[in-house]
């Protein structure tokens, strides 16, 4: 599933692909990707890409006065292809004056595209309710403690609350907690100042790692068949921990599978 690093890589790709180019035609296939939105407004988009911003897992793209908000959902990705080449699961496409086509590919159609005036994109409900973006706005120990500390949810679940921290999902929350040596079931209120500092550092390290490791014109998500798993703990249940060789375990939290090392991430606070 695309999270903050994957969506940021998609944003950077769009900036490169549209550099010196112009959108000559936008085409949306009738699908639930445009649920609650006017597909005709999407197909009216044209011209150069004048802005490409990201907040959490949302992209905000401007083409002059009109633009769109895009969420990649669970399986969505942006790919560039030569004109005329078929692309399976393409739900929307951007045809460039270079003859190339950027497709929004989404097999499961949990992604979403909502056209709107460019100046209103940050105020759309889906974007406006998002919490702090660790990459765009920064996230130090103090801010992290203020945002997550009051939560009564388990630590990992609270980190995935998009209204607290925008962009962290199942993968990178687990990776950050592993790097910080914190058990995912800890109560946020039990963390010490030193632990909040380690967690803030762990979040940034996990994001920076993914931004470098996954940087590509065409990301292969770890869940896709044949993909390698570059992560330290995510998806590694039943295998030796890369730090201590203890068997990595998994459990269910908030309907998602959490991976952790019981030795590197003790449930009790370290004193």
Separation between Cα atoms, residue 33 and residue 73, nearest integer Å: 9
- Give the relative orientation of helices 193-213 and 141-148 as an angle to the nearest 10 degrees: 100
3 state DSSP class of 178: helix
What is the residue-level pLDDT of the chain in tens, covering all 271 positions? 799 999 999 999 999 999 999 999 999 999 999 999 999 999 999 999 999 999 999 999 999 999 999 999 999 999 999 999 999 999 999 999 999 999 999 999 999 999 999 999 999 999 999 999 999 999 999 999 999 999 999 999 999 999 999 999 999 999 999 999 999 999 999 999 999 999 999 999 999 999 999 999 998 898 888 889 999 999 999 999 999 999 999 999 999 999 999 999 999 765 4
Q: Which domains does the chain have, with CATH numbers?
A: 4-128 (3.20.190.10), 141-260 (1.10.8.50)
Separation between Cα atoms, residue 86 and residue 101, nearest integer Å: 10
Instruction: State pTM to two decimals.
Output: 0.95
Q: Are 165 and 147 in contact (CB under 8 A)?
A: yes
Strands of 144-248 (E only): list them: none
Separation between Cα atoms, residue 212 and residue 126, nearest integer Å: 28
List b or e across 44-65, with b for residues whose CB sees 16 or more CB atoms inside 10 angstroms: ebeeebeebbbbbbbbbbbbee
The residues assigned a catalytic role are 2-3, 57, 256
């Amino acid at each position: 599933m695309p999270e903050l690093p994957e969506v940021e890589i998609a944003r950077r790709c769009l900036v490169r692909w549209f550099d010196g180019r112009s959108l000559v035609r936008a085409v949306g296939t009738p699908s639930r990707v445009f649920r609650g939105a006017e597909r005709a407004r999407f197909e009216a988009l044209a011209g150069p890409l004048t802005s490409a911003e990201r907040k959490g897992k949302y992209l905000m793209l401007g083409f002059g006065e009109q633009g769109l908000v895009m969420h990649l959902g669970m399986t969505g990705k942006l790919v560039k292809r030569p004109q005329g080449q078929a692309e399976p699961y393409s739900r929307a496409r951007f045809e460039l004056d270079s003859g190339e086509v950027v497709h929004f590919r989404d097999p499961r159609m949990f992604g979403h595209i909502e056209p709107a005036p460019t100046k209103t994109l940050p105020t759309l409900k889906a974007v406006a309710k998002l919490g702090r973006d660790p990459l765009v706005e920064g996230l130090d120990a103090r801010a992290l403690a203020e945002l997550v500390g009051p939560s009564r949810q388990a630590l990992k679940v609270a980190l995935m609350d998009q209204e607290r921290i925008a962009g962290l999902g199942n993968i990178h929350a687990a990776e950050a907690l592993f790097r910080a040596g914190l058990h995912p079931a800890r109560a946020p209120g039990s963390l010490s100042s030193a632990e909040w500092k380690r967690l803030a550092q762990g979040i940034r390290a996990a994001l920076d790692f993914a931004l470098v490791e996954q940087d590509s014109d065409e990301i292969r998500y770890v869940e896709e068949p044949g993909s390698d798993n570059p992560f330290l703990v995510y998806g590694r249940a039943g295998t030796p921990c890369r730090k201590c060789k203890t068997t990595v375990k998994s459990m269910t939290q908030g309907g998602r599978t959490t991976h952790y090392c019981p030795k590197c991430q003790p449930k009790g606070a370290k004193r």
